[in-house]
Amino acid sequence: MSSVSLRPDKIVAEHLGLTYVDQGTPGQARRNVVLQDFNLSVREGEFLSVLGPSGCGKSSLLNILAGLVRQTQGDVRIDGQILSGVSRKLGVVFQGYALFPWRTVIENVEIGLEIRDVKRAERREQAAHFLSLVGLQAYGNHYPHQLSGGMRQRAAIARALAYGPEVLLMDEPFGALDAQTRESLQSELLAIWEKSAKTVVFITHSIDEAIFLSDRVAIMTRGPGKVKAIMDIALPRPRDDSVRNSAEFLALRQRAWEWLKTEVAETAQPA
């Protein structure tokens, strides 16, 4: 996708650092460096995955981008403007859905619009549109606990899309799903993304998922987290499941694995 490389930067993280002071036992405060000198540019309209072993600070990165956690060093810029707190340009899909159990599916989807004081009838209509986009038009009046895991995740995606953010931040959204549901949701997500022209930052620990979905994959080192390498995924789009068996795909996966291998090996020991 050479066209992507010409696009302007949407999100730029510069020298990002995050250090917690862990006060486990009194008097023995320990500094916990989660991110250090983390640099990354996400281009407008691209699908970028952040791939790394568990505990590398991926989720902390997402929380900083979402404006939920304040970094201790460095800056994040969105469209050139320094990010301070929550930005309305961003929508987040959380690990584990985070659907409100006391709201029906459609009420969940319209919550972002409710926060923006959109009138009831209008937000209903909007929410219904995004529900049908993810194929849940028949389940609007169900409660989240009445849906399967895959359907819940689709509802969560519809909720993040419904209020029209320019960037979608996704934190291992398919992590809790079985392999088959996971693959079909990946294809669905690509179809939605191709129609919507949004920038996506997708956090995952699955190599296959990252390669299948992305224009580029940023591979992270184990904590303190920083970007170790960025891979261009030049697989043609639109992609379908057959791409998973192509020689290019396997070669990319091999390369990603080479990068990641040392990190995983290091994580496996302490914990």
Partner 1 sequence: MHNRSSATASLPASEPFASGATASQSKQPALPAAPSRVRAHAVHIFERSIALVAFLLLWELLPRVGIVSSAYLSPPSAVVVAIAHLFATGEVWKHLGSSAFRSIAGLLLAVAAGIVSGFLLGWFRRAERIADPLYQLLRQVSAFALFPVFMLFLGIGESSKIAIIVWAAFWPVLLNTLAGVKQVERIFIDCARSMGATQKFIFTKVILPAALPQILTGIRLAGAYSITALVAAEMIGARSGLGFYTLNSQETFQIPDMYAGIVLLALFGLLINYGLSMLERKLLRWRVGIAQNG
**Which DSSP symbol is given to 29?**
-
CA distance linking residue 169 with residue 199, whole number of Å: 9
Among 21, 25, 82, 102, binds partner 1 (CB under 8 A): 102
Stretch that binds partner 1, among 9-17, 76-84, 110-118, 197-205 (CB under 8 A): 110-118
Stretch that binds partner 1, among 45-53, 106-114, 184-192, 208-216 (CB under 8 A): 106-114
Tell me: does residue 157 bind partner 1 (CB under 8 A). Answer: no
CA distance linking residue 209 with residue 125, whole number of Å: 32
Stretch that binds partner 1, among 112-120, 173-181, 185-193, 204-212 (CB under 8 A): 112-120
Sign of CA dihedral 145, 147, 148, 150: negative
Burial (Cβ within 10 Å: 0-12, 13-18, ≥19) of residue 257: exposed
For the CB of residue 99, give the shortest distance to partner 1 in the complex, in Å: 9
For the CB of residue 92, give the shortest distance to partner 1 in the complex, in Å: 4
For the CB of residue 104, give the shortest distance to partner 1 in the complex, in Å: 8
For the CB of residue 52, give the shortest distance to partner 1 in the complex, in Å: 21
Report cis status (omega within 30 of 0) of the bond before 236: no
CA distance linking residue 12 with residue 15, whole number of Å: 10
Tell me: does residue 112 bind partner 1 (CB under 8 A). Answer: yes
User: Under rule CB under 8 A, how many of the chain's residues touch partner 1?
Assistant: 26
Q: Which is nearer to partner 1, 171 or 215 (CB)?
A: 171
For the CB of residue 143, give the shortest distance to partner 1 in the complex, in Å: 5
Among 98, 229, 243, 264, binds partner 1 (CB under 8 A): 98
Q: How many CA atoms lie within 13 A of 225 on its CB side?
A: 23
For the CB of residue 62, give the shortest distance to partner 1 in the complex, in Å: 10
One-letter-per-residue 3-state SS of 152-180:
HHHHHHHHHHHCCCCEEEEECCCCCCCHH
Beta bridge partners of 169: 92, 201
Instruction: Pull the structure tokens for residue 79.
Output: 């469209």
Among 6, 145, 195, 238, binds partner 1 (CB under 8 A): 145
Nearest to 211 by CA among 48, 1, 4: 48
Tell me: does residue 142 bind partner 1 (CB under 8 A). Answer: no
Nearest to 11 by CA among 99, 105, 93, 74: 74
CA distance linking residue 58 with residue 144, whole number of Å: 27
**Which DSSP symbol is given to 83?**
P
Among 92, 158, 220, 231, binds partner 1 (CB under 8 A): 92
Give CA angle at 137 (109, 243), nearest 5°.
90
Tell me: does residue 164 bind partner 1 (CB under 8 A). Answer: no
For the CB of residue 95, give the shortest distance to partner 1 in the complex, in Å: 8
Instruction: Pull the structure tokens for residue 259.
Output: 């990068």
Binding mask 53-82 for partner 1 (x = CB under 8 A): ----------x--xxx--------------
- Residues in contact with partner 1 by CB under 8 A are 63, 66-68, 86, 88, 90-92, 94, 96, 98, 100-104, 111-112, 114-116, 143, 145-146, 163
